[in-house]
Amino acid sequence: MSTGFSLEMSDEARSQMPNIPADETDKAAYQKLIAAAAALAAEHTAFSILLDRLAETAGVPLPTVERFFPNPEAAASALALHYSERAASEVALDQLATPEDNWQGIVHDIFLRGRVFYRKHPVALKLRLGAVQNAGVRHILLQNGYAFAALIQHEIQKHFIIPGNADLTEDFMNAITITDALWSLSVYQHGEITNDAVEASERAVAGYLEQVLGQRLKSRPAN
């Protein structure tokens, strides 16, 4: 999910990035390792991937694993990239908003899809909402957050008129951060994103965004 927005990467995060192959044969081995890493991450409550265990699970020599993932953190970052791409295809879809929905309906729909995505992909939930994140994963998740913020802006602007065509990406990113915090607390306390957490996040986000969008936006005239 590309938005043209790019966060500066720290040296620590850069050292925790995977070496993504271009060769087709290497790509097949890389995808095999991604699948094995996801399976290992799903086995444990805490997120942890050991490279020797990953090599054993995937049936791939350890030197090959280390060529793609120079450290365990790089394997986690590879999974974060993988699920970011999955989210782009499963969550970032055209909205079916109506004037009655107004902007709240679009925000609700996108966040609802996010919750469905995390239920479908529990490893992605661990990565985004878990207690421990390395620098590489944090960088990827922040980049992904800005991509979703731009998605919300795009979808709202497609159906409604934002006064002055203001760029509210930072505001939508703040809304995502609020949601992540409440959902993360729910995962910590209950092991899942509960209905109460979803309702609490919607109230908090609506209250925050009303400060910049108002309660209703004018519908954009149909072409």
pLDDT tens for the chain, 223 residues long, are 444 456 788 999 999 999 999 998 899 999 999 999 999 988 876 567 889 999 999 999 999 999 999 999 999 999 999 999 988 878 766 555 555 678 988 888 888 888 899 999 999 999 998 866 889 999 999 999 998 898 889 888 888 899 888 899 999 999 999 999 999 999 999 989 999 999 999 999 999 999 999 999 998 887 6
How many whole angstroms separate alpha carbon 85 and alpha carbon 73? 19
pLDDT at site 6: 65
- pLDDT for the residue numbered 5: 56
pLDDT given for residue 3 in this prediction: 45
Residue 92: predicted pLDDT: 67
Residue type, 130: G
Residues paired with 218 in a beta bridge: 161
Find out whether 36 and 24 touch, Cβ atoms under 8 Å.
no
Q: Decide if 217 contacts 156 (C-beta within 8 A).
A: yes
